[in-house]
Amino acid sequence: MFIHRNTKRVGKKSYHSILLMENYREGKKVRHRTLLNISRWKPDQINALEAALKG
């Protein structure tokens, strides 16, 4: 599992999302699956989750 920070630009606006994702293998290909959208979490909660995932 990992945290993916995504930025999408539409015209002059930019939209940010923070997702909890996992990798899995489908045959010979590696795929990504979104488990949870954590964009609305507080920054300290996101940092704590990221630290826990790193070990």
pLDDT of residue 55: 84
Q: For the chain, what is the HEC assignment? A: CEEEEEEEEECCEEEEEEEEEEEEEECCEEEEEEEEECCCCCHHHHHHHHHHHHC
Give residue 34's domain range: 2-54
Contact 18, 34 (CB under 8 A): no
Structure tokens at 17: 């999302």
Q: What is the pLDDT of residues 13-45, one digit of tens each?
A: 999 999 999 999 999 999 999 999 999 999 999
The total domain count for the chain is 1
Model-level pTM? Answer: 0.83
